[in-house]
Amino acid sequence: MLKHLRPLLLPFNLVYALVVYVRNKFYDWGVFKSTSFNLPIICIGNLAVGGSGKTPTTEYLVHLLSHYKIAILSRGYGRKTSGFILAGPNATAETIGDEPLQYYHKFSNVTVAVCEDRVAGINRLKANHDLILLDDAFQHRKVKAGFNVLLFEFAKLQKMQWLLPAGNLREPFSGVKRAQAVLVTKSPAEITSATRKKMLAKLQLQSSQQLAFSHINYQKLKHLYTAEETVFEKDQHLFLLTGIANTAPLMQYLAEKQLNVHPFEYPDHHCFTEKEIAQLVTAYRQHQATKKIIVTTEKDGQRLLTNNLRDLLLNLPVYYLPIAVGINAEDKIGFDQKILDYVASTKRLH
């Protein structure tokens, strides 16, 4: 649909591009204020809208930096609240957003908070933490992060990309210059030298900027409510519920597993209704296959934890498929070390 509308939207791209250019220049020149902080701030972001792998990359950094006291600060996209909120036992996707809720459930030793004003959020967290990870804040230039990890999807990076509203870019490729590291996600586990050179040429990175490639590591299925683990069975019928930006890598993985997939696809961060879940359950129950399960993504699973949806799925085999980022072997040491060196060298000012 967007492809056909693109010629009509291109004039609006000029207006959007001008606004973005002026805004960035005003921050570069100091007309608009960027706030620096006296502790390590790592921003994980992208130039495109949605689906580049920010959540598993943030989780990778949590593991890498686990010997520090970490806080993750997110805007809390899709939440029905506002202001600063600390994740706690009563948190839901509606109060803090699905991705922060995933972090909270996964990392008991990490503080998770949401605040649309990142400066205010950091000020609330900085006294009691060694470092702060900013989830999806590359365009939030009111904060001057000490280290920016900028993500690009491998498949999309090889295609022509357009600015909003005709495309999905939030800002032009020139924004790459603000990143200390660029991570190309959802890549093959091995990258040819020709492909690496092509990417370097497109991104026009400086020698000080780290380029790394990562791939998706799919984990064992986990039951959404009991955490029991299982694996896919050949020729199994899979009722797949998704509300993510890009299902292509997941569908490719499932095709390789020789599964019979019945997709129930919704937009990114979609708030599932009781009617939608009831339709999924009905389709599952009416299907004649003996080998069948309901599967969703880990992020989508966070929106199925409310009591009304949980009741509909009670006693059914409902699993989520966790994923992890694997930094490609030839890039891992350099990528990890650059981040570790930044954190170690950034001292608090007392």
Q: For 284-317, write each residue's pLDDT tens digit.
A: 999 999 999 999 999 999 999 999 999 999 999 9
Whether residue 303 contacts residue 93, with contact meaning beta carbons closer than 8 Å, is answered with yes
The span from the CA of 328 to the CA of 320, in Å, is 25
Q: How confident is the model at residue 340 (pLDDT cuts 50, 70, 90)?
A: very high
pLDDT reported for residue 349: 52
Q: For 235-293, write each residue's pLDDT tens digit.
A: 999 999 999 989 999 999 999 999 999 999 999 999 999 999 999 999 999 999 999 99
HEC-encoded secondary structure of 81-122:
CCCCEECCCCCCHHHHCHHHHHHHHHCCCCEEEECCCHHHHH
Lookup: tokens for 39: 């502790």
Q: What is the mean pLDDT of residues 182-200?
A: 95
Q: How confident is the model at residue 350 (pLDDT cuts 50, 70, 90)?
A: very low
* pLDDT at residue 132 tops 80: yes
Q: For 39-95, write each residue's pLDDT tens digit.
A: 999 999 999 987 799 999 999 999 999 999 999 999 999 999 999 999 999 999 999
Q: 119 Cβ partners below 8 Å, 6+ apart?
A: 35, 142, 143
pLDDT reported for residue 272: 97
Mean per-residue pLDDT over the chain, rounded: 94
* pLDDT at residue 102 tops 60: yes
Query: What are the structural domains, with CATH classification, of the chain?
Result: 2-216+326-345 (3.40.50.300), 220-321 (3.40.50.11460)
The span from the CA of 145 to the CA of 323, in Å, is 27
Lookup: tokens for 104: 């909270």
Direct distance between the N- and C-terminal alpha carbons of the chain, in angstroms, rounded to an integer? 55
Q: What percent of the chain is predicted at pLDDT more than 90?
A: 88
pLDDT reported for residue 7: 65
Nearest to 296 by CA among 321, 266, 269: 321
Backbone angles phi, psi at 135, to 5 degrees: -90, 120
Place of tokens 């009691």: 128
| Polymer length of the chain | 350
Whether residue 103 contacts residue 132, with contact meaning beta carbons closer than 8 Å, is answered with no
